[in-house]
Amino acid sequence: MTAVQKVAIAGSGAAALATAIRLAEAGVEVDVFELKAELSTVGSGITLQGNALRVFDSLGVWPRIRELGYPFDGLSIRAPGPGAPVIADLPEVQTGGPDYPAAMGMYRPDLNRVLLERAEEVGVGIHFAAPVTGVEQRGDDAVEVWVNGESAGTYDLLIGADGVHSSVRDMIGIDTKPERTGMGIWRAFVSRPAEVEHSELYYGGPAYIAGYTPTGENTMYAFLVEASQDRAGISSEEAARIMHEQSLAYQGPWESIRHDLEGPDARVNYTWFTSHIVPAPWNRGRVVIIGDAAHSCPPTIAQGAAQALEDASVLSELLVAADVLDESLWNTFHARRLPRAQAVVEASVQLGTWQLEHDRDADAPGLIFGIARQMAELA
Ligand SMILES: Cc1cc2nc3c(=O)[nH]c(=O)nc-3n(C[C@H](O)[C@H](O)[C@H](O)COP(=O)(O)OP(=O)(O)OC[C@H]3O[C@@H](n4cnc5c(N)ncnc54)[C@H](O)[C@@H]3O)c2cc1C
């Protein structure tokens, strides 16, 4: 027996689908309600650390993900200017343990597709164009869920995995909100020059950080982090032009990136960094928020998706192992998840703050390695 038999999930990102897969595999009836009309087919890349890869393995999707993405170990730091000299080659901690590479890059829509296919395979009900619009507790052990303004039925639990601007968070009266950290990021999906075999970061020059990560044999994503500005409504041509211009201080593989940015198919997007962490508890009765709904951070150590997946993994493990959904289950969930997510949020924000303040004495490598070693412990 599991602690829940029928669960509704808002969202179809990594947190939602990972939870759905694990619950459905245990025989729980799961409905996933997604606001968007369909799965995104365009997007940028994502860096997935070992502790995320370990969760993919438990979902039965690791072989497919490894095949579609670009696994790698190591991180190089380069300097701006002629020849883009490599100033440090850093070993990376294998946060998923020795069975997984330290990290891998992947095209985001591929990741979403693999998770969605697995969810369908294990019998999850997937509903697109189906925003969760309301929720009402029904006694102590049930919750009624509204989708598109109409009742979708009564469930044992609603999981709000509906992202950084979570509506479910608002619906249950949690008023912690994501706040801008002062940085914004240009990201482009481009071709991979053969010399790029792992993530490389450039500190110095006009951007706070410039870098790229391979996502496949022929692809990678490149990014430039700037002080956040209002870039709303910018055309894709203008976005590519600005990113091209800001990249001129960087050489090496940036020559190839610029070549792609000059082409008619250049795909560039702009996003502000935010951060927040909802203090415990993340649930109100039979509704809980996980993933970016509960915590967000700038991707300075690329742990956001890994933390969302760990939320999913721990929550589904507890729900499957217990017979009842009671306070002790929630206490265990919060004890296992909150300190870890909080450590990631605080370190990610700290790294950004040091850059915004041009603090040259800060021990950024020490902080990054400390967090990586912490993440290597099981969640
Ligand atoms: C610029 C940037 C770069 C990043 N790079 C990395 C990286 O390299 N590595 C990394 O690990 N993390 C990275 N992150 C963080 C990572 O993207 C997130 O932590 C992760 O995607 C969170 O997953 P999630 O499932 O919680 O939410 P999401 O993936 O945001 O999914 C939420 C879903 O809920 C849906 N939704 C919203 N409202 C409703 C509603 N009312 N009803 C139903 N559905 C709804 C949305 O449409 C969406 O599909 C980055 C973040 C940013 C901003």
Question: pLDDT of 122-176, one tens digit each?
Answer: 999 999 999 999 999 999 999 999 999 999 999 999 999 999 999 999 999 999 9
Q: Per-domain residue ranges for the chain?
A: 6-47+107-178+275-375, 182-274
Whether the pTM exceeds 0.95: the reply is: yes
**Which CATH class name applies to 6-47+107-178+275-375?**
alpha beta
Residues with CB under 6 A from ligand 1: 10-16, 33-36, 46-47, 131-132, 161-163, 167, 185, 271, 291-292, 299, 302-306, 308
Q: Which residue's alpha carbon is at the smallest distance from atom 52 of ligand 1?
A: 299
**Does the N-terminal peptide bond of residue 281 adopt cis geometry, omega within 30 degrees of 0?**
yes
Cα–Cα nearest to 295, from 339, 327, 336: 339
Q: Which residue's alpha carbon is at the smallest distance from atom 3 of ligand 1?
A: 299
Query: In the chain, which residues have pLDDT < 50?
Result: none
Question: Does residue 78 contact residue 84 with C-beta atoms inside 8 Å?
Answer: yes
Contacts with 127 (C-beta within 8 Å, 6 or more apart), sequence order: 31, 32, 33, 34, 147
The CATH number of 182-274 is 3.30.9.30
Contacts with 254 (C-beta within 8 Å, 6 or more apart), sequence order: 84, 210, 222, 247
What is the pLDDT at residue 299?
A: 95
Rg (CA), the chain: 21
Give the atom of ligand 1 at the shortest distance from the alpha carbon of 15.
25
What is the pLDDT at residue 96?
A: 96
What is the pLDDT at residue 132?
A: 98
Mutation choice for ligand 1 from 35, 38, 112, 290, CB with most ligand atoms inside 8 A: 35
Mutation choice for ligand 1 from 162, 268, 315, CB with most ligand atoms inside 8 A: 162
The phi-psi region of residue 60 (left if phi > 0; otherwise alpha if psi is between -120 and 50; otherwise beta) is left
Spacing, Cα 1 to ligand 1 middle (Å): 31
C-alpha span between 236 and 228 (Å, rounded) = 18
